[in-house]
């Protein structure tokens, strides 16, 4: 059996600008906490969009990194007749 793979990356870079007197470098990026629910919604939308197309399936893949930093989805074309 022959398998082909191709990678597509959707990368989100979170950015926030602070005033010059900002003293929060040690807060562990607390300002990013509110993005967590949004990321879940983005992932759910991606899975739903792919699932609407017959013959395609999507599943998560663990690449050994924390899901706080990276999520990999495997999008696979099902074999047909």
Q: Where are the domains of the chain?
A: 30-77
Q: Over the chain (81 residues), what is each successive 10-residue block's mean pLDDT?
A: 91 90 80 89 95 94 82 89 59
Tell me the backbone φ, ψ of residue 58, rounded to 5 degrees.
-135, 140
Closest CA to 73 of 33, 44, 32, 41: 44
d(CA 68, CA 76): 24
pLDDT score for 76: 96
Reported pTM: 0.77
Tell me the backbone φ, ψ of residue 41, rounded to 5 degrees.
-70, -40
Q: How many CB atoms within 10 Å of residue 17?
A: 5
- Yes or no: say if 44 and 58 are a contact pair by the CB < 8 Å rule: no
């Amino acid at each position: 059996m022959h398998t082909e793979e191709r990678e597509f990356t959707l990368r989100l870079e979170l950015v926030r600008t602070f005033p010059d007197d900002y003293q929060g470098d040690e807060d562990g990026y607390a300002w990013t906490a509110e993005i967590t629910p949004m990321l879940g919604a983005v992932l759910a939308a991606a899975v739903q969009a792919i699932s609407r197309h017959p013959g395609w399936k999507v599943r998560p893949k663990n690449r050994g990194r924390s899901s706080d930093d990276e999520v990999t989805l495997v999008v696979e074309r099902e074999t047909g007749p």
